[in-house]
Amino acid sequence: MLYGIINGEKKRAKPKLKAACPLYGTELTAKCGAIKVWHWAHRAEAFCDEWTEGETKWHKNWKDCFGIGQVEVVVKKRFKKHIADIVAKNGVVIEVQHSPISPQMIEAREDFYGRMIWIVDARSFKENFNVRFQAFVLKQLKEKVHLRWKNKDTVIETALDEEGFEWLYFDCSHLQLGEAQKDDLTKIGFFYNSSLKCWKAEHSEKRFRYLNYLQTGLFYIPFEWKWARPSWQFAQKPVFLDFHKKYLFYVTDGTGKREGLGYFVAKERFLRRYR
């Protein structure tokens, strides 16, 4: 755990400190080594939340994106209590999962928390997970992140402007858009920029999916996952895969299967929604 309780307050581990566990008040010892993230640890024999994972740098990075009051929150329900990794401002519990997890554990947590989502550390299987058209970080300037999805000659580009607004640019010069499609684009908030020769709109999942649909006939991006982890098929709640890039892949179909669908969500955008 990143936080222990000292004099009623949540505190980070520092050398030689002791604290109480927020769940049952048992003693925690600060572990402040050179390699692992500084964290609090129970005595080996202590009984506590069997759901908590060891603290990795990846866990810490996610938890540090949120306020102290939103991280490692004790949730009580039906005479049981557990420590949720993160509670979003809208009350949704975010569980950040690094290790493989059993179907029973997935079901138990989803049942307990109710409104929750998963962020899964996907770095260890990123080589085995492919979207059918390439997504790559085009360039990374100070505040600007460009993601480009390429399929044949058409391109969807997203970019952040100086104010942090995310825009979609859709180069349709290689597509024969009919009047009805142009109408649709206008209806969902696109306007045609004749100097850039592309359609432009503020980013939203709906708009992104529509552009994807124009290109592929599908609203979502197909993926192939070699050696998929089948326990994730038991997840009923949303699963976001984190490949340690600027975006998450939200799996809409086929979680834990060899093939499925989903789309990319910029982390910035994800955080704006849940923070």
Instruction: Please give the residue ranges that form the binding site for Zn ion (CB under 5 A).
Output: 21, 23, 48
Distance CA 272, CA 275 (A): 6
What residues form DSSP beta bridges with 130?
224
Both tokens of 13, joined, read: 């581990």
Q: Annotate 174-209 with b (16+ C-beta within 10 A) or e (fewer).
A: eeeeeeeeeeebeeeebeeeeeeebbbbebeeebbb
Q: Quick one: 24 or 191, whose CB is closer to Zn ion?
A: 24
CB of 86 to Zn ion, least distance (A): 18
Cβ atoms of residues 131 and 223 within 8 Å = yes
Min CB(78)–Zn ion separation in Å: 19
Residue whose CB is less far from Zn ion, 21 or 116? 21
Nearer to Zn ion, 21 or 228 (CB): 21
Nearer to Zn ion, 25 or 91 (CB): 25
Query: How near is the Cβ of 118 to Zn ion at its closest, in Å?
Result: 22
- Shortest distance in whole angstroms from residue 84 CB to Zn ion: 14
Distances (CA, A) of 189 to 73, 193, 196, 199, 204: 39, 13, 17, 10, 10
Cβ atoms of 142 and 118 closer than 8 Å:
no
CA distance 229 to 97: 13
Q: Which is nearer to Zn ion, 23 or 155 (CB)?
A: 23
Nearest distance, CB of residue 22 and Zn ion, angstroms:
7
